[in-house]
Amino acid sequence: MNMAAEASERRRVGLTARRTQRASRFYGQFVGLMKVILPTVATALLLVVVIWPQLKEQDGLFEIGFDGKIDKSAAENLRMEQARYTGVDKSKRPFFVTAEAAEQADPQSPIIELLQPKADILMEDGSWIAVTAELGNYNRATQFLELAGTVNLFHDKGYEFRTTSAVLDLRAGDAIGTEPVHGQGPFGHLQAEGFTIRNRGEKVEFHGKSQVILLNNPTDLQKGTEKK
């Protein structure tokens, strides 16, 4: 009886010792693995902390929206149907440019050709400006958008201007036109030989010989003035 008990006790002690050895080996492997993983994780976190602010500074870059459809028939060119571009200006205010088609004929060139482009610009007060044209060229290096054909500028407060060409500085929020411009709005009607818009409409100037028809209200007689 005593011999059986002693044998059982020896087996129990041996089993406990083997379990202790396995646990010790597992712990040693775990410690060794952590010595490799923890420095790697720390390095990755450090890189994120250093690089992330630099990436955030790139928010103003003009980006191609991947909701467009790639035209596979023009393999030598980068062409996208229903293209959408997004970006922010120097004051972090967003703008959006869409086009029926966008094509980069030369991969080494910063110029992207646009068909039926439309630019939507959100103002700080919540209002918006929309500019449409028949054709356009966007320069990724300068962030200039050149528009040609029938160019229309709309403001949601009721203003509309029409011309045949314009250049938008999307980064600065400026626009300039050197062709005759016709406009209308709550103030009345105007004609001029050119225009300049600064900082998203905070300052608007009309150049050359200009004619303005002022309306006190829609039922009043029109009063025309001409200045040179």
What residues does each domain of the chain span?
Answer: 2-57, 61-227
pLDDT digits (tens, 9 = 90+) for 160-204: 999 999 999 988 888 999 999 999 988 889 999 999 988 877 788
- Segments of the chain scoring below 50 in pLDDT: 13, 46-75, 219-228
Residue 55 has a pLDDT of 44
Phi/psi at 105 (5° precision): -65, -40
CB distance 119 to 95 below 8 Å: yes
199 to each of 24, 89, 121, 217, how far by Cα in Å?
A: 70, 10, 11, 29
- DSSP one-letter code for 222: P
Residue 91 has a pLDDT of 80
Average pLDDT of the chain is 73
Residue 178 has a pLDDT of 94
Residue 75 has a pLDDT of 43
- Give the fold, CATH level 3, of 61-227: lipopolysaccharide transport protein A fold (2.60.450)
pLDDT digits (tens, 9 = 90+) for 25-37: 655 665 565 565 5
Copy the structure tokens of residue 46. Answer: 């450090």
Residue 113 has a pLDDT of 94
Q: What span, in angstroms and rounded, lies between the C-alpha atoms of 173 and 146?
A: 14
Q: What is the pTM of this model?
A: 0.61
Would you state the torsion angle of the CA atoms of residues 121, 125, 127, 129, taken in this order, to the nearest 10 degrees? Answer: -30
Residue 15 has a pLDDT of 52
Which H or E run includes 16?
Answer: helix 2-56
